[in-house]
Amino acid sequence: MTDIKRLAVLTSGGDAPGMNTCIRAVARCALFNGCDVIGIRDGYEGLLRGDMAPLDAREVGGIIQRGGTILGTARSEEFRTEAGQLSAMQILKQHGVDGLVVIGGDGSMRGARALAARGLPIVGVPATIDNDMWGTNMAIGVDTALNTICDAIDKLRDTASSHRRAFLIETMGRNCGYLAVMAGVIGGAEVVLIPEAPVTIEEVAAKVEDAYKRGKTHSIIIVSEGANILTTELAGALEKMSVGFSTRITILGHIQRGGRPTAFDRLLASRMGVKAVDALLAGQTDVMMGLRGREVEPVPLEDVVTRQREANLDYYEMAKMLAF
């Protein structure tokens, strides 16, 4: 065991559903273990402002089901600098913080690594809807985002079938096609475009036209935001190529980030929050909690920030096969 007496928690980077559930788990687990808990507002930016306040058990009540993050989140350029990190260490010291849980995406883990390297006991928790992080099968927020996407596809398919349309549905994910591929499988898409598997407009058009000729009443095309063809460009080209269906675009955008976390995300966030505090109190640092198989286990932050998550093209192929 360590002598951590005051533990802080912050959320950083893009918000993800389940962050609140995790804040609650971190705070309650730390309080249960006799620690003071400090909530840092607005990620590393708030940390540099010294914007932090004690969190008690009641303050994290009623948030288990709320999307977003009660602590707020932000991106900070200053924190990327050596001066920013030195200043952050000093501010934490002034506030008597001797352990930190960082909830966020891969950039946030880079920040956590930087503070760990300066000697602060620190544990990361992965939270990003993109699921682009090495070291965890699932990050907090991914399952909720997928449920939101699935719901949207189901609704769009109703109208697509009625009008014999091809719907181009753009999903988030930046350079990672995870959300798009999974959306393709669970939403029954005819075509999925992801950054990891570039295609030509002609290939997409051939698939859509083929689906039309096979008697399909609609066509769902999922386009990851990082795909090699822009959604608008593809829609314009398909319209000109007369592939059978008329085309419509829906860019799902930030609705994928919001909403009540699913049961899966709440459970994952609770487990990871508790494990993060347990790890810190047991003297572990410089690690991130990862879902490995069915277990939540620590993985080195060094690996998280240096290794690249590989795209799982098996699901991509599965989506293609099931579109027959």
Which residue's beta carbon is nearest to the bound ligand ATP? 107
**32 is written with which tokens?**
């249960």
Closest CB to ligand ATP among 219 and 262? 262
The one segment of 7-15, 150-158, 186-194, 219-227 that binds ligand ATP by CB under 6 A: 7-15
- Report the nearest approach of ligand ATP to the CB of residue 108 (Å): 3
DSSP, res 140: B
Number of residues that bind ligand ATP (CB under 6 A): 18
3-state secondary structure 115-138: HHHCCCCEEEEEECCCCCCCCCCC
Closest CB to ligand ATP among 172 and 185? 172
Window 210 to 249, contacts with ligand ATP (CB under 6 A)? none
Window 74 to 113, contacts with ligand ATP (CB under 6 A)? 75-76, 79-80, 104-108, 110-111
14 binds ligand ATP (CB under 6 A): yes
Q: Give me the helix-helix angle, 178-187 and 313-322, nearest 10°.
A: 30
- Report the nearest approach of ligand ATP to the CB of residue 80 (Å): 4
Window 243 to 302, contacts with ligand ATP (CB under 6 A)? none
Q: Around 302, how many Cα atoms within 13 Å sit in the side-chain half-sphere?
A: 4
44 binds ligand ATP (CB under 6 A): yes
**DSSP line for 224-241:** ETTSSS-HHHHHHHHHHH
d(CA 247, CA 245): 6
β-partners of residue 86 are: none
Closest CB to ligand ATP among 103 and 220? 103
Closest CB to ligand ATP among 54 and 253? 253
- Report the nearest approach of ligand ATP to the CB of residue 73 (Å): 8
d(CA 213, CA 32): 63
Q: Do 29 and 40 touch, CB atoms closer than 8 A?
A: no
d(CA 61, CA 64): 7
Catalytic residues: 130
The one among 12, 147, 231, 285 contacting ligand ATP by CB under 6 A:
12
The one among 11, 69, 128, 148 contacting ligand ATP by CB under 6 A:
128
118 binds ligand ATP (CB under 6 A): no
What is the side-by-side order of every strand in the sheet holding 191-193? 191-193, 219-224, 165-171, 246-251
β-partners of residue 249 are: 168
* Binding-site ranges for ligand ATP (CB under 6 A): 12-14, 44, 75-76, 79-80, 104-108, 110-111, 114, 128, 130
